[in-house]
């Protein structure tokens, strides 16, 4: 009986490991594709591939996160796309990721999606999408005050706000400095987000 139980335990361990290896392999392959994507079609395809991984796994938030990240990259790159439809899709993916594991990385996606929607018409949309973008960062910082991407994005918001409204590079500089400091101290786990350090360093240099 003990031998049977031991055999069953070993089988289960091997099965879980195989499933884990399959997930890691699929993620690594698709992350490579994300890094190489340069066109609208490629970013959409990568996003769809990550979403399929998420639907297959069901207990992993990272595929939905990266599906959303691909679309936020698309939102910055392609000025001709429908920013509202794209932003809403990112938020839908955020909902799926948060249902599995609420965390501060998802807040960065919500911030970028809302920011892109606001930029369609900043004057008329600030009270809705601008506030939504700011609230996402505040929530993210409460969840994890050591996430450097939150401060980078906060710095970008302040940097792009006119000085007469409390923005500008002098106000943004300490936020970029904090982001850079946190990036240097961060220990990134395999498959987890690591983007933003170069951008934060470049913005800090620009503020100097």
How do residues 12-47 score in pLDDT, each as one tens digit? 333 334 458 899 999 999 999 999 999 999 999 999
For 64-207, where are the E strands, in sequence order?
Answer: none
pLDDT for position 20: 80
Write out pLDDT tens, residues 96-127: 999 999 999 999 999 999 999 999 999 999 99
Distance separating alpha carbons of residues 23 and 17, to the nearest angstrom = 10
| Domain locations along the chain | 31-141, 146-208
How many other β-carbons are positioned within 10 Å of the β-carbon of residue 153? 25
Q: What is the mean pLDDT of the chain?
A: 92
At residue 186's C-alpha, the angle toward residues 134 and 35, to 5°, is 75
Given a cut of 90, is residue 157 above it in pLDDT?
Answer: yes
Distance separating alpha carbons of residues 132 and 121, to the nearest angstrom = 15
Torsion sign across C-alpha atoms 43, 47, 52, 54:
positive
């Amino acid at each position: 009986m003990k031998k049977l139980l031991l055999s069953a335990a070993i089988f289960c361990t091997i099965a879980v490991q195989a499933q884990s290896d399959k997930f890691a392999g699929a993620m690594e392959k698709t992350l490579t594709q994300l890094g190489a994507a340069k066109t609208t079609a490629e970013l959409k395809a990568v996003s769809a591939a990550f979403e399929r991984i998420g639907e297959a796994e069901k207990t992993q938030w990272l595929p939905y996160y990266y599906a959303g990240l691909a679309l936020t990259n698309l939102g910055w790159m392609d000025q001709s796309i429908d920013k509202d439809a794209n932003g809403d899709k990112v938020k839908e993916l955020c909902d799926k990721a948060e249902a599995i594991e609420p965390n501060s990385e998802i807040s960065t996606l919500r911030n970028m999606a809302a920011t892109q929607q606001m930029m369609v018409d900043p004057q008329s949309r600030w009270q809705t999408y601008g506030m939504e973008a700011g609230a996402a960062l505040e929530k993210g910082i409460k969840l994890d005050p050591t996430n450097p991407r939150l401060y980078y994005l906060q710095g970008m918001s302040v940097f792009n706000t006119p000085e007469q409204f409390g923005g500008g590079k002098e106000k943004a500089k300490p936020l970029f400095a904090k982001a850079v400091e946190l990036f240097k101290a961060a220990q990134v786990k395999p498959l987890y987000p690591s983007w933003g350090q170069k951008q934060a360093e470049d913005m800090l240099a620009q503020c100097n």
